[in-house]
């Protein structure tokens, strides 16, 4: 999946935004990846899908 993808759905002002979120601790230590899909309209923003992809080990020294 790309980091971000936006598409227009049927209707005048409804979009779906698909994001890849990478979680970090500190400046550059990656600890996880999630995919989130949002549906955006003029009146509301709703989470359509949330998928936890991967957890990475966290050093006990942090």
Residue 1, pLDDT above cutoff 60:
no
pLDDT in tens, 5-60: 889 987 778 999 999 999 888 888 889 999 999 999 999 999 999 999 999 888 78
Instruction: Tell whether the torsion through CA atoms of 56, 22, 37 and 1 is positive or negative.
Output: negative
Pairing relationship of beta strands 4-8 and 45-55 according to DSSP bridges: unpaired
Contact predicate 18/5, CB 8 Å: yes
């Amino acid at each position: 999946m790309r980091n971000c993808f936006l598409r227009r759905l049927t209707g005048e002002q409804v979009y779906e935004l698909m994001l890849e979120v990478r979680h970090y601790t500190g400046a550059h230590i990656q600890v996880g990846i999630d995919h989130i899909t949002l549906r955006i309209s003029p009146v509301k923003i709703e989470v359509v899908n949330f998928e936890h992809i991967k957890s990475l080990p966290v050093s006990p020294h942090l």
